[in-house]
Structure 1
Amino acid sequence: MNKNRLVALLTPIFLSSTIGLAQKVQKDSQTTVDPRDGQSYPIVQLGGLYWFAANLNFETQGSDCYEDDLIKCGDWGRLYPLEEIHTACPEGWRLPSTEDWDILKEIIEENGVQALYKPDHWKNNEEASNSSGLSLVPSGFKHKRKFQLQYINSTIWFNENTNQGSHWHFHTDGNNNADPFYFHTHDGEVFVRKFAIRCVCENAYLPE
């Protein structure tokens, strides 16, 4: 077989075998790169999982920047509709599950919700410590055609449907109330809302 033809045939195989590893990173790295658009994300290990320490900013057909401002996408990530959330994360990463919620719940119970908040982003909140490294930001959400509560609210998609046909998500208003964190559904209302995404995976690193 012609050598050039052999190379041409093998190249797609090589590329397909490495695509799944492209977003993996070298040991001790604190960032990962989305191979689809080259954007870099900080990562943090919490409870045996690796989490994006920033909101996903991969452009999909139905995603929005807050108030349609591209600059805000860079700072706060995008807001995604329900129908796109299962394909939004890079290959090898996924939405957090309801079981993964227990990781965040434990952090809140032991250190307070301020341990999840990125400092200098929350309105009327000067106690954000981000001791967890998750760097949660108040990116707001979109309800129908209206953007709401940036600087005050953070809402993140989780991946299980409920019996009512809704979807789990958590949100926080950033205040210091006794129970500022909520993990719940909005029944049918969830289909007209867009929230942020944090991707997770069990192993973010390449084999040594």
Structure 2
Amino acid sequence: MKNLLKIMLTASLCVSASIAAPQKGSMTDPRDEKTYKTVKIGDQVWMAENLALEITEINGNPGSTNECWILGGNGKKANCKKYGQYYSALAASVACPDGWHLPSAPEFKKMLDYAGNSIDLKSKEGWNTYQQSSGNGIDKYGFNAQPSGGCIVAKDGECSYLEEGKRAYFWTSTVPSDTEGVAYAFLGASHTDYGFDLAPQSKGLWMFFPVRCIQNEKKNVGDVSADFNEGEATESSSHDACKAAVAKAKNTYNRCITLPKGSSERSLCAKKYKEEKENAEKACIIKNAKNSCSRSASDIMEVVRQRMPGLRHIYNKFLKQQPHFQGVISLRFTIAPGGEIISISIASSTTGYGEFDNEIKTAVSRWNFGKFKCDDGNVANETTVTVPFTFYE
């Protein structure tokens, strides 16, 4: 069965296609403030550098080697930037920052299939020759795979390095159910030497490989987005209830994306997530009404959902000016009984792009929520709300 798995994972990467220029960007890991280059390959966003976060230990066992400072570089610190840390399989599973994750073998294969070969993914220097031919790549997509090799920790605690210059190794999150191993991806000096293999779990803790993180999918549970924020505390919607509702929905989302695409289990999970997300939106909307006769959170969010797609063209316009920017804008506005917005302001923003924020505010200010009357026929009061708007590619 192990051989069968290996055959499945190392399926030929002969697919070719007309590929658009890669979209490059950057991200900063808030845990240690290191900034990494990123690149979009197909519909996936990858770190374009190996992770360099040091993990001293995990569950009482070694986390990362911290040997990136000296590997092949005679003590040059530049090698930590070049090769990153070398992680145990267990540490690798929790190493990526929030919003990113350790890629599965299928996610790696999707990227490899998109590229169609290994020479386009490998760095332009550092690779050994193979049968008198250079092993260096052309780095067409900006993935910049370095020939880092890996290491095995011996009983004395020293890291014995192997195949630097010959291969690039990357941990995956895939643990096949019929084996006791963890899958890892590799690229070799020969441009036809690439695929996957298994590190036996009994030894995997002591095998150390680099990590490349991939950005979490944003739209992959039914037709529902996973992005929304919990807002602020008010009399009508307590902050604690809001946070609890958001956490519940996010936990369900994280479980859904682990289920096979197209499966009935994932479909049912997506339905549950959609319900929990709607409950969270209702719990988190900030509402300040003078009496109980005011617009409901569900009525307001229904209009917001209907009108939200109309803001996409604004985001796309600014995205051309500043690739990969994203964030959440919380707008605070007051809706008159007739439905028009009579005042609006930016309560908070994480986009870091003031011009974009103001254009979104202007567009929303033109929305109309329709006339509203109380059940007894009296004219309703004005309703003030704060609603988070999330934007991403």
TM-score range, shorter chain: 0.7 to 0.9
Q: Which residue of 1 aligns with 2:128?
A: 123
CA-CA distance at 1:29 after TM superposition: 6.8
Q: Which residue of 1 aligns with 2:326?
A: 206
CA-CA distance at 1:154 after TM superposition: 0.7
Does 2:184 correspond to 1:166? Answer: no
Q: How many residues get paired?
A: 177
Name the CA shift for 1:102/1:171 in 2 (closer, same or farther; >3 Å). Answer: closer
Q: Which residue of 2 aligns with 1:16?
A: none
CA-CA distance at 1:99 after TM superposition: 2.2
- Indicate which of 70, 78, 82 corresponds to 2:85: 78
Name the CA shift for 1:138/1:29 in 2 (closer, same or farther; >3 Å). Answer: closer
Amino acid of the structure 2 residue aligned with 1:116: L
String of CA shifts for 1:128-181, please: whole Å, max 9, x gaps: 1111211100111011231112222110011021232211111122223xx300
Q: Which residue of 2 aligns with 1:98?
A: 105
CA-CA distance at 1:101 after TM superposition: 2.2
Q: Do the aligned partners of 2:150 and 2:162 also contact (CA within 8 Å) in 1?
A: yes
Rounded to whole Å, the distance in 2 between the matches of 1:33 and 1:67 is 20
Q: Do the aligned partners of 2:38 and 2:48 also contact (CA within 8 Å) in 1?
A: yes
Rounded to whole Å, the distance in 2 between the matches of 1:153 and 1:196 is 11
Rounded to whole Å, the distance in 2 between the matches of 1:79 and 1:105 is 22
CA-CA distance at 1:126 after TM superposition: 5.5
Does 2:115 correspond to 1:114? Answer: no
Q: What secondary structure, in the 3-state scheme, does the structure 2 residue paired with 1:75 have?
A: helix
Name the % identity.
21
Rounded to whole Å, the distance in 1 between the matches of 2:204 and 2:30 is 30
Q: What secondary structure, in the 3-state scheme, does the structure 1 residue paired with 2:119 have?
A: helix
Amino acid of the structure 2 residue aligned with 1:78: Q
In structure 1, the gaps of 5 or more residues are 1-27
Rounded to whole Å, the distance in 2 between the matches of 1:47 and 1:79 is 27
Q: What secondary structure, in the 3-state scheme, does the structure 2 residue paired with 1:121 have?
A: coil
Q: Do the aligned partners of 2:53 and 2:95 also contact (CA within 8 Å) in 1?
A: yes
Q: Which residue of 1 aligns with 2:64?
A: 63
Name the CA shift for 1:105/1:126 in 2 (closer, same or farther; >3 Å). Answer: closer
Does 2:171 correspond to 1:157? Answer: yes
In structure 2, the gaps of 5 or more residues are 1-22, 57-62, 154-158, 219-323, 328-390
Q: What secondary structure, in the 3-state scheme, does the structure 1 residue paired with 2:161 have?
A: strand
Q: Which residue of 2 aligns with 1:140?
A: 149
CA-CA distance at 1:205 after TM superposition: 4.6
**Bigger shift: residues 143-152 or 64-73:** 64-73
**Bigger shift: residues 182-191 or 130-139:** 182-191
TM-score normalised over the length of structure 2: 0.42
Q: Do the aligned partners of 1:107 and 1:113 also contact (CA within 8 Å) in 2?
A: no
Q: Which residue of 1 aligns with 2:208?
A: 194
Amino acid of the structure 2 residue aligned with 1:164: T
CA RMSD of aligned residues (A): 2.1
Q: Do the aligned partners of 1:67 and 1:147 also contact (CA within 8 Å) in 2?
A: no
CA-CA distance at 1:81 after TM superposition: 0.4
Where does 1:8-87 land on structure 2 (aligned, <5 Å)? 30-61=25-56, 62-66=63-67, 69=70, 71=77, 72-87=79-94
Higher relative contact order, chain-length normalized (CA < 8 Å, sep 6+): 1
Rounded to whole Å, the distance in 1 between the matches of 2:193 and 2:38 is 24
TM-score normalised over the length of structure 1: 0.77
**Bigger shift: residues 58-67 or 139-148:** 58-67
Name the CA shift for 1:31/1:143 in 2 (closer, same or farther; >3 Å). Answer: same
**Bigger shift: residues 62-71 or 182-191:** 62-71
Amino acid of the structure 2 residue aligned with 1:142: C
Q: What secondary structure, in the 3-state scheme, does the structure 2 residue paired with 1:100 have?
A: helix
User: If you compute each CA radius of gyration, which structure gives the higher value, 1 or 2?
Assistant: 2
Name the CA shift for 1:56/1:38 in 2 (closer, same or farther; >3 Å). Answer: same
String of CA shifts for 1:84-143, please: whole Å, max 9, x gaps: 11211111110111221232331343xx21000010121223651111211100111011
Q: Do the aligned partners of 2:27 and 2:36 also contact (CA within 8 Å) in 1?
A: yes
Q: Do the aligned partners of 1:141 and 1:155 also contact (CA within 8 Å) in 2?
A: yes
Q: Do the aligned partners of 1:86 and 1:95 also contact (CA within 8 Å) in 2?
A: yes
Amino acid of the structure 1 residue aligned with 2:94: T
Name the CA shift for 1:135/1:191 in 2 (closer, same or farther; >3 Å). Answer: same
- Indicate which of 150, 175, 197 corresponds to 1:184: 197
